[in-house]
Amino acid sequence: MTKNVLITGGCGFIAHHVIDLFLQKTDWNITTLDRLDYSGNLNRLNEVMDKYDAQTKKRVNIVFHDLKAEINPLVGNFIHKNGKIDTILHLAASSHVDRSITHPMEFIQDNTIGTAHLLEFARRLDGLETFLYFSTDEIFGSAPPGVAYDERARYNSTNPYSASKAAAEEFCVAYENTYKIPMMVTHTMNVFGERQTPEKFIPLCIDRVRKGEKIYIHSNAARTEAGSRFYIHASDVADALLFLITKKPACPTDYGHAKCAKFNIVGKEETDNLTLAKLVAQAQGKELNYEMLDFHNSRPGHDLRYALDGSLMRSLGWEPTIAFSERIKQVSDWYLQNTRWLEL
């Protein structure tokens, strides 16, 4: 039977890739809930929708709503326009760490209160099959060398953004335990891809290499070691979410939270930011102009290294299939052919 899926933040960077993949690979009806602020951009969704026929486009229902307010019956009627919702993917969030440091209350309202309002909507639904909350690696904080956090790791938020996401995640666990909402939680990190805002590191690098400008690499205090991440393309994230919704794997009971299954969605390889910037320059056939900066003095509240353990998803049969260097070349080429997305 055709699913009716609600995706929050559908005009945002990651979620519009999710909608694109779902339209390609399923016959599901999709409702996207978005407030269309600086993160949500209808141009994203419009670009990916252009390649589909009229019948496919009818499967997408766009509803304007800010989750800082509750979902009242009127908004609910718009959400259910294409059929009663049976699956929810909560991807909407404020996610810019720097902004969370200067405006923490905005992130509490958007990420924690907003999630609670969506959970209240979800617990009134009959027949809800899945509520998937899209969390972040940052709730675990900085990872020491050699350490990759699995799904059981303790929270160690180092900035208001990660704290607001950790609080929302705990509400999801509580709503499953209290109200029996069928919950999944995912953690991922450093997602990149086409139509990402140019303030993010990879499009910023692409743009500065294109213009011959200097790139600043956040590093340790001695400026000898660049920060590192497990970068992952947005379409790989979308594929992992589709895998989880369709397979509905149970979290191993020895993880201690089997009632709320949690899964890390992780890139294939760890890459330091200097190597990444060099890959971007190589993709354009140019030399990299860069300077190392002490990350904490220049960006308080940030961490030098994040790392997630992706072994659980691998054991279930999912991992990215395309090499990171190939993805960087693909994304660099796309931005150079679509430079308007570097000039927003």
Chunked into runs of 10 residues, the chain (344 residues) has average pLDDT values of 93 95 97 76 85 94 95 95 95 89 95 98 96 96 92 92 97 95 95 94 96 92 88 98 93 62 94 96 96 70 82 95 95 96 86
**Residue 14 and residue 88 in one domain:** yes
**Residue 88 and residue 183 in one domain:** yes
**Residue 218 and residue 257 in one domain:** no
Tell me the residue length of the chain. Answer: 344
**Residue 283 and residue 180 in one domain:** no
Spatial distance between the Cα atoms of 279 and 158, rounded to a whole number of angstroms: 29
**Residue 225 and residue 94 in one domain:** no
**Residue 129 and residue 153 in one domain:** yes
Is 154 a member of any domain? yes
Which are the catalytic amino acids? 161
User: 262 phi and psi, to 5 degrees?
Assistant: -125, 140
User: 139 phi and psi, to 5 degrees?
Assistant: -65, -20
User: 291 phi and psi, to 5 degrees?
Assistant: -145, 135
**Residue 125 and residue 174 in one domain:** yes
Pairing of strands 271-272, 228-229: antiparallel
Closest CA to 111 of 63, 64, 159, 166: 166
- Residue 176 contacts residue 128 (beta carbons within 8 Å): no
- Residue 77's pLDDT is what? 95
- Residue 255's pLDDT is what? 57
Q: Which whole-number Å values give the CA distances from 252 to 34, 67, 266, in the listed order?
A: 34, 32, 18
| CA atoms in the 13 A half-sphere facing the CB of 208 | 20
- Residue 301's pLDDT is what? 53
> DSSP code of 256?
S
Is 313 a member of any domain? no
Residue 202: give its domain's CATH number. Answer: 3.90.25.10
| pTM score, whole prediction | 0.93
> DSSP code of 254?
G
Token pair listed for 203 = 């499009």
Spatial distance between the Cα atoms of 238 and 261, rounded to a whole number of angstroms: 18
Is 315 a member of any domain? no
Residue 251: give its domain's CATH number. Answer: 3.40.50.720
- Residue 221's pLDDT is what? 83
Q: Which whole-number Å values give the CA distances from 54 to 2, 30, 51, 59, 61, in the listed order?
A: 18, 15, 10, 9, 13
Total tally of structural domains belonging to the chain: 2
Spatial distance between the Cα atoms of 174 and 179, rounded to a whole number of angstroms: 8
**Residue 181 and residue 71 in one domain:** yes
- Residue 218's pLDDT is what? 87
- Residue 259's pLDDT is what? 66
Closest CA to 180 of 131, 244, 240, 137: 131
Token pair listed for 139 = 């709730």
- Residue 95's pLDDT is what? 83
Is 314 a member of any domain? no
Kind plus residue range of the DSSP H or E element containing 315: helix 311-316
Q: Containing domain of residue 70, as a range?
A: 4-191+232-265
**Residue 258 and residue 336 in one domain:** no
